[in-house]
Amino acid sequence: MRIAIVGTLDTKGEEIRYLRELVQRRGHHPLVIDIGLLGPTPFPPDIPRQEVLRKAGVELKSLLEKGEEGEAAERMAEGLAILLRELQQEGKIDGVLAIGGGMGSAMVARGLQKLPVGFPKVLVSTKVAQAGAGAYVGTRDVVVIPSVADIQGLNRLTRKVLGNAVGAICGMVEAIAQGPEAGRPAITMSMLGTTTQCGLRLKEELEAKGYEVVVFHALGVGGRAMEEFLQEEGAEAVVELAVNEIGNYLFGGLASAGPRRMEVAGELGIPQIVTPGNADFINFLSPDTVPERYRNRRIHRHNPQATTVRLEAEEMELLGRTIAQKLNRS
């Protein structure tokens, strides 16, 4: 199987060489992609940085002459995203293994998030333990491995972590090689807390009728992932048991799934059942993440990292109108 290895060859050349060697030793084919900006590369990559940048329509030389390093990093991330998606769609790679510090992780993460769910993608990063993984994984199944020590050369710690990363990506592409199982027609379902019992009951009935039910947890990322799933894979029907993400978008809660939530099914003509499940609140994390303006509301502390704020009548009216507008367009 072919595994893309992505990183900045100027600063992480030794580590990338080691990853390449381990991938080969395991019988797979590495494809080294350089996204370094400045220094020389210790060995020639399979796809050089100039070629990555050219995917974004720019020339490295002219960018660096302008002294626009931030701009160059931005364009490199853009070019990498295009390149990885092309390589995946053309069947030229079976998985991606990326390593990065703060800057590098952010650059590769954009590309990894464009690859389909199930396509093996691993990011070894110095930053996830500190800054959290949310920004790196987006709505996708990016496998995140904290580097523990800094990625500065090979030593007993980095060798273990990099060795495990190679084990993980190789194990994943080998699993994919076994092939997927046959599918049944899919129905997607949003669900959250108070509507879980209802959803599980419905799921059971639908499965008994031969459907496959894909459940999304309506906390922002879940709703976004559901819309993307509908866009990319489609479904026989959609059941909405949680509309709180729309309220979160309208009123500044933390579980927003963006302005396009509950629009894809209508656009594609997929039948929908929409209930007012979880319409009456918006979500925050710990109590101190609740904005000042909501502190006099009815607040429910679900657990230390989940606080909900009750909406008022006018807000629920606006929520209802917003949902009606979305559905009327379908």
Instruction: Spell out the residues 6+ positions from residue 192 whose beta carbon is closer than 8 angstroms to its own.
Output: 217, 218, 219, 241, 242, 244, 277, 278
Mask 44-83, x = binds its own copies (CB under 8 A)?
----------------------------------------
291 near its own copies, rule: CB under 8 A: no
Whole-number Cα distances in Å, 37 to 9, 56, 70, 78, 253 = 9, 14, 10, 14, 38
* E-only strand ranges, the chain: 2-7, 29-34, 95-100, 121-125, 143-146, 186-191, 212-217, 237-240, 272-274, 281-284, 299-303, 306-310
**Which stretch, 41-49, 135-143, 258-266, 310-318, contacts its own copies (CB under 8 A)?**
135-143
Q: Pick from 39, 42, 57, 153: which binds its own copies (CB under 8 A)?
A: 153
Mask 204-243, x = binds its own copies (CB under 8 A)?
---x----xxxxxx-xxxx--xx--x---x----------
Of the two residues 123 and 319, which places its CB atom closer to its own copies in the complex?
123
Of the two residues 45 and 138, which places its CB atom closer to its own copies in the complex?
138
Counted residue by residue, the chain has a size of 330
118 near its own copies, rule: CB under 8 A: yes
**Which stretch, 79-87, 151-159, 267-275, 322-330, contacts its own copies (CB under 8 A)?**
151-159
Long-range pairs for 289-297 at CB < 8 Å and ≥24 separation? 289/254, 291/252
Distance of closest approach, residue 101 Cβ to its own copies, in angstroms: 8
287 near its own copies, rule: CB under 8 A: no
